[in-house]
Structure formats: C-alpha cells, structure tokens
C-alpha cells in the first residue's frame, strides 16, 4: 500500500527490505514477486520504481527474545506489550535506510507504521518517528523526513486507500502478493490474503477487510 502511495507522489522510489532473522522470512520472498507485479500491472508507476535493496541485520534477531525471531507462542509480556514487539526494530530500519539514502541523495523515508489499530508498539508512534527523524538529520547533517501515510488510518481505511489509488487491480495484488502473518503461513488463502488467520497481524488484516466490505457499496454489474 505504501509503495503505491509513494509512486503516486514521488518521481523516484527505491525499495528496501531487512533480513533480521524474522520468523516470517517468507515476506522477503513475496516482496520480489510483488515488485515485479507492480512493474507489469502498473506501467505508469514502473518508470518511477528504482533499485531494490536488501540489508542484513542478523544480530537484531539474535538479541531479540520475541515471538517474531524465535519459535514461541504469541502472548503479552511482563511489560504489557505483546511479545511480537522487537525492541529497536523500526529505529534501526530507518537509521539504516537513512544511511543508504545518504549516499544516494534520498532524504524522504516512507514507512507503513500505524498507531490507529495497532498492537501498542512504541516505535510505531508518530512522536517516536518525529524524534528519530530529527536525530538522523542532526547526526548526518542532512535533511530527513519520515513519512507514514497510514499512521492515522485503520485497516479498513487502508483497504479503501488501495482501492482509491489503484482500484481492484491494486487490491487484488495486495491480497495475493503481500504478507503480514507473523507465523509466515502461506498455505491458507483467505479473501483478504494468505495467513494463519489467528495471529494478531492476520486478525487486524481480516477485520479491516470485513469492515471495508461492509461499508463499501458493491461494484455495479456490467
């Protein structure tokens, strides 16, 4: 969704993925298929799509005792946060992205963080990302803007945004090509996409899909 949003607004967009030993590493494979599909199905965006980058952050997975980086049941931790929270993840992601952008002349970073219907992750909050952008700008002595188009949009609104940006072709591509399931399950296909349907990420995605469809009038028959 954020990729389509960025391609609609910027003349040049580069993508970046992070391999940090995540349990749902299947997302690193599906993203390549998704990028190819974007180029084929949306030629007006293809010319804006620049190189893709994959960065390795294995140490993050090794020092994180979370259910996203080891085989463990998803539950609330003693801190009150779900144990799917990977401490420092978004802080490192944006810092690495900014370092890569520094040598490529890129100062705008786009992320899909949201604090509307999320799990309470402190590194998804707007205040956190504003502070991080200021720190990066000071530390690298260059402008830095962290843009989060989904920050105040719930999951139903995200589906609606996709429909507004690219219509059914984009919605279908997101359903078929993206991955959010924390367990990395690509064996079960649901109306909203692939996943276990029981982890928090799947539940949020499914509920958003249902809510969007309940408030969206059916397409006219041809």
Q: Tens digits of per-residue pLDDT, 134-146?
A: 999 999 999 999 9
Q: What's the whole-number average pLDDT of the chain?
A: 91
**Average pLDDT in the 148-160 region?**
96
Sketch out the chain's domains with CATH numbers: 2-68+85-180 (3.40.50.620)
Angle among Cα 29, 129, 121 to the nearest 5 degrees reads 65
Please give the Cα distance from 188 to 192 (Å, whole number).
Answer: 11
List 22's β-bridge partners, or say none: none
The predicted pLDDT at position 28 comes to 92
Question: Is 64's pLDDT higher than 90?
Answer: no
Please give the Cα distance from 161 to 175 (Å, whole number).
Answer: 14
Which residue reads 């959010």 in tokens? 180
Question: Is 157's pLDDT higher than 50?
Answer: yes
Q: How far apart are the first and last CA of the chain?
A: 28
What is the length of the chain?
A: 222
Among candidate residues 190, 177, 209, 194, the one with its CA nearest the CA of residue 38: 177
Among candidate residues 163, 173, 182, 139, the one with its CA nearest the CA of residue 37: 173
Please give the Cα distance from 164 to 180 (Å, whole number).
Answer: 21
From the CA atom positions of the chain, what is the Rg in Å? Answer: 18
The predicted pLDDT at position 78 comes to 67
Among candidate residues 179, 150, 147, the one with its CA nearest the CA of residue 162: 150
Q: What is the pLDDT of residues 28-45, one digit of tens each?
A: 999 999 999 999 999 999
DSSP state of 108: E
Question: Is 195's pLDDT higher than 60?
Answer: yes
Confidence label for 222 from pLDDT (cuts 50, 70 and 90)? very low
């Amino acid at each position: 969704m954020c990729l389509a949003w960025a391609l609609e607004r910027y003349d040049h967009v580069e993508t970046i993925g992070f391999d940090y030993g995540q349990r749902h590493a299947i997302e690193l494979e599906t993203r390549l298929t998704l990028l190819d599909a974007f180029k084929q199905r949306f030629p007006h965006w293809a010319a804006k799509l620049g190189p893709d980058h994959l960065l390795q952050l294995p140490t993050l997975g090794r020092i994180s005792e979370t259910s996203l980086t080891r085989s463990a049941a998803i539950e609330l931790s003693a801190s009150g946060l779900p144990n799917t929270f990977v401490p420092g993840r978004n802080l490192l992601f944006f810092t690495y992205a900014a370092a890569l952008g520094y040598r490529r002349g890129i100062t705008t970073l786009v992320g899909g963080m949201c604090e509307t219907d999320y799990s309470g992750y402190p590194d998804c909050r707007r205040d956190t990302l504003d502070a991080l952008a200021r720190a990066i700008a000071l530390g690298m002595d260059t402008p830095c803007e962290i843009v989060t188009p989904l920050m105040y949009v719930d999951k139903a609104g995200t589906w609606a945004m996709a429909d507004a940006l690219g219509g059914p072709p984009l919605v279908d591509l997101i359903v078929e090509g993206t991955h959010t399931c924390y367990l990395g399950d690509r064996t079960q296909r649901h109306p909203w996409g692939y996943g276990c349907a029981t982890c928090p990420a799947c539940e949020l995605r499914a509920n958003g899909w249902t809510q969007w469809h309940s408030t969206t009038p059916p397409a006219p028959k041809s």
